[in-house]
Copies of this chain bind each other. A is one copy, B any other.
C-alpha cells in the first residue's frame, strides 16, 4: 500500500508532502516541501484565529485543497513517482483554529478545531481517495485533538531496553516519551512550549524569513532577567496532556522581547526553547535516547545549546530513515492507512481522550464500475 501524507504546519512555510510504502520501510519514497504563494500565506494568516467572512474561509478551504493536490502532483513529477501508484492520501490540512480545552457553549462542553484544504478537491484532482479531518474524532471522544504524531513515534522508536524521547521542533516544540518495552497506553506526549514560531517572528523583524542555522541568535546575548520571567509561565510546569497553539505564542508574546535587539531576542528565545524542552525531558528519569525532527533541527545553534543543557547528544530521525522535515507528513500518511484498516490511532495518554478512536473522515468519490 502506497500512501501520501500532506500537511502544512502553523509556521505556514508550505505544504509538506511525503509518499511512503507501508509494506517496506516507512522511509519515504519521495518527500518535499512546496512553499505557499506569499499571497495565500497572507490570506491564511488573515483568517487564522480571527474574524473573517465565512465565504472567505469557504473559498480558502477549496483553494488550499487545490494547492495540496498540486503539491502532490508536482512532487510525484519531480521524483518520477506515478500518481496512479498511490492508493491513498492522508491530508491533515491547514489549521486555522484550535481550542483543545473544552469551553461551556450553549450548555455543552465544546472543544473544537478547524483544518482547511477540501478533501473532495484533493481526491478529484488526483484520482485518489483521501482521509482528512483527523482531529475531530479525538476531540469528540474528550481529547484535545493533539498531538496525533505520537502513534508514529511509538511504532518507529519503541525500544526493548531504553526510553525513547521523540522531539519535534516545529512552530511549537513537543515531545513523545516512550518508556522501555512499553504499550501504547504508557506513552506520554505534550507540547513543551514555543519554538520556531517565536524565533521566526523575531527573525522577520530584521527581514529574514527565519534565522538560518541560528547564526543571528549565536551572535546575541541571552537576557537572563527576561528568560526567568518567561520561564515563570505556569504552563511549563503543568503535567501533560497539554497543548499550545498559535494564540498562546502570537504577536503579544513576541512583543515581550521588544526591549532587546533582535539578536539578543533570538538568543533569549532560543534559550527559552532549550530550557523548556530540556526541563520537560529531564523530568523522565534514567538513560534515554533523544530523537529530533522538525525545522528546528536545522538550527545548529539551538541543537548545540540543547545538547549542552541535556548533557547528551540529540540524535535525528534521519538515522531511522525519516527526514527531519518529513516526519509529520509521514505520520498523516500512516494515520490514513489506519483509518481504512479501521484501527484506532489516537494515543489517549497524549490527547486525554476517553478512548481510542479511528481518526479521520474518508472521502472516496470514485464509483464502483
From A4-12, A135-143, A285-293, give the one contacting chain B.
Answer: A135-143
Residue A99 contacts which of B58, B105, B119, B140 (CB distance < 8 angstroms)?
Answer: B58
Bound-state CA distance A68–B39 (Å) is 38
Q: Please indicate the chain B residues that have their CB under 8 angstroms from the CB of A124 in the complex.
A: 137, 140-141, 357
30 contacts between A and B (CB under 8 A): A43-B106, A47-B54, A51-B53, A51-B54, A52-B52, A54-B57, A54-B96, A57-B57, A58-B113, A58-B114, A59-B103, A59-B110, A62-B110, A62-B139, A65-B140, A66-B108, A118-B136, A118-B140, A119-B136, A119-B361, A120-B140, A123-B137, A124-B141, A132-B361, A137-B363, A137-B365, A342-B366, A342-B368, A357-B367, A362-B362
Interface centre among A58, A103, A365, A368, by most chain B C-beta atoms within 10 angstroms, is A365
Q: In the A-B complex, list the 8 residue pairs whose CB atoms are closest, starting with the nearest.
A: A120-B136, A58-B112, A124-B140, A357-B365, A344-B367, A361-B361, A120-B140, A342-B368
Interface: A37 (CB within 8 A): yes
CB neighbors of B among A191-232 (8 A): none
Given A50-B54, A54-B52, A54-B114: A362 in contact with B361 (beta carbons within 8 A): yes
The digit string for A340-364, where 1 denotes a CB below 8 A from any CB of B, is 0111100000000000111101111
B140 near A106: Cβ-Cβ < 8 Å: no
Q: How far is the CA of A356 from the CA of B344 in the complex (A)?
A: 32
- Indicate the member of A43, A49, A59, A66 with the most B CB atoms within 10 Å: A59
Tell me how many chains of this kind the complex includes. Answer: 2
Tally of chain A residues near chain B (CB < 8 A)? 63
Measured CA separation A363–B359 after assembly (Å)? 9
Complex Cα distance A97/B53, Å? 10
Chain B residue contacts of A111, Cβ below 8 A = 62
Does A239 touch B at the CB level, under 8 Å?
Answer: no
Residues of B within 8 A of A364 (CB): 342, 358, 362
CB-CB under 8 A from A48, the residues of chain B are: 54
A260 CB-CB contact with B under 8 Å:
no
Contact for A112 among B52, B62, B366, CB less than 8 A: B62
Assess whether A121 is interfacial by the CB under 8 Å rule. yes
**Given the complex, which residues of B lie within 8 Å of A311, measured CB to CB?**
none
Is A94 located at the chain interface by the 8 A CB criterion? no
Does A63 have its Cβ within 8 Å of any Cβ on chain B?
yes
Contacts A62-B139, A63-B108, A120-B139 aside, 18 further interface pairs with beta carbons under 8 A come to: A40-B106, A50-B54, A51-B51, A52-B54, A57-B57, A57-B114, A58-B99, A58-B112, A59-B99, A63-B105, A119-B136, A123-B140, A137-B363, A342-B367, A342-B368, A358-B364, A361-B362, A362-B364
- A40 neighbours in B (Cβ, 8 Å): 106
What 1/0 mask marks residues of chain A from 165 to 184 whose CB sits below 8 Å from any chain B CB? 00000000000000000000
A-side interface mostly: mixed
- Give the contacts of A46-102 with B (CB-CB under 8 A): 47-55, 57-59, 61-63, 65-66, 96-97, 99
Contact assessment for A137 and B112 in the assembled complex, using a CB-CB cutoff below 8 Å:
no
- How far does the alpha carbon of A99 sit from the alpha carbon of B342 in the complex, in Å? 34
Tell whether, in the assembled complex, residue B358 and residue A367 are in contact, meaning their CB atoms are under 8 Å apart: yes
Known: A54-B48, A362-B364. A62 touches B106 (CB 8 A): no
Shortest Cβ gap from A73 to chain B (Å): 14
B362 touches A358 (CB 8 A): no
Per the bound structure, the CA–CA distance linking A52 and B57 in Å amounts to 10
